[in-house]
Amino acid sequence: MNSVYAGIEPVVGFCMFLVYNSKLLKQSLLETLTRFYPFAGKVRDDFYIDCNDEGVHYIVTRVNVSLLDFLGQSPGDEMIRRLIPATYAVFLKDWTAAVRRSSSEIVHPSFTGPSLFPQIPSLLDKCPIDFSKINFPSQRFVFSGPKLAALKAQTEVLISECVPSRFEVVAALLWKCVAKAASKSYESSLGKPFNLGMIINLRGKNCVPKNSVGNLVWRGLAQCKLSPQLEPKTLVHQIKKCKTEINDDFVEAMKE
């Protein structure tokens, strides 16, 4: 098992115990880093990347466990965060293609984000919020494939709308359950706004390339009124509405 550390979070890859495979991984990593040059820099003050081309640490570790046994475990949030950081998804896809020597699958990242959304100088002096000092209770739920399929089949939608996605039906279910619990605990808030915040990917919208690198996301807000009897159909509709509102015109307006 090979671990490559870029900045703070590790990227983890697997290979057989052969020197050739390790050399291939190292060479393909070198090629990939030339395209994803910020990943060869260092994170400064948890705020920006210093592209100093120092490269990354390449560490080879042998473990007595099969890949099947490892992936069969039920990973905790910390393991998922370290193994599959969201910002490395495109990087890993490109590295995998480089290992396979599949030139048609190699991703050519776009770093046009700063030109589309120029930096605001006044924000550079402001330190990011240290969320590690804030207590955010969280809980993780796991939905199996058959359960998700059944949930989608049970969820009605408006005639004018397409079949809901897995995200939409799960988000609507959780939203409904939280609203029902909140209605009992906060009866005085019944009928007041009880909105759902979600992250919308801006890639592929208007002039934002799908292979863009960076935090090209926006917070969407699906809206409803607090009630113990919210219908999943209504909540799915609000989620779809929120997603469609962040469209090409919305992104164009953000640039102005």
Domains in the chain: how many in total? 2
pLDDT given for residue 222 in this prediction: 94
79 in any annotated domain: yes
User: Which residues make beta-bridge pairs with 58?
Assistant: 4
Question: What value, to the nearest 5°, has the Cα angle with vertex 199 and ends 183 and 113?
Answer: 160
> Which of residues 113 and 233 earns the better pLDDT score?
233
CATH number at residue 165: 3.30.559.10
* 3-22 tens-digit pLDDT: 333 333 444 555 555 555 77
* 39-63 tens-digit pLDDT: 777 777 766 677 776 777 777 777 7
pLDDT given for residue 8 in this prediction: 38
User: Which residues make beta-bridge pairs with 60?
Assistant: 2
d(CA 86, CA 98): 20
Residues 142, 148 contacting (CB under 8 angstroms): no
Same domain, 169 and 67: no
Q: 0.85 cut: is pTM over it? A: no
d(CA 88, CA 95): 10
Which of the 8 DSSP states describes residue 163? P
Name the residue range of residue 195's domain. 131-255
Question: Does the pLDDT of residue 202 top 50, yes or no?
Answer: yes
Same domain, 105 and 37: yes
At 12, give phi and psi (nearest 5°): -115, 135
Looking at residue 62, its amino acid is: R
Q: How far is CA 204 from the centre of its chain?
A: 15
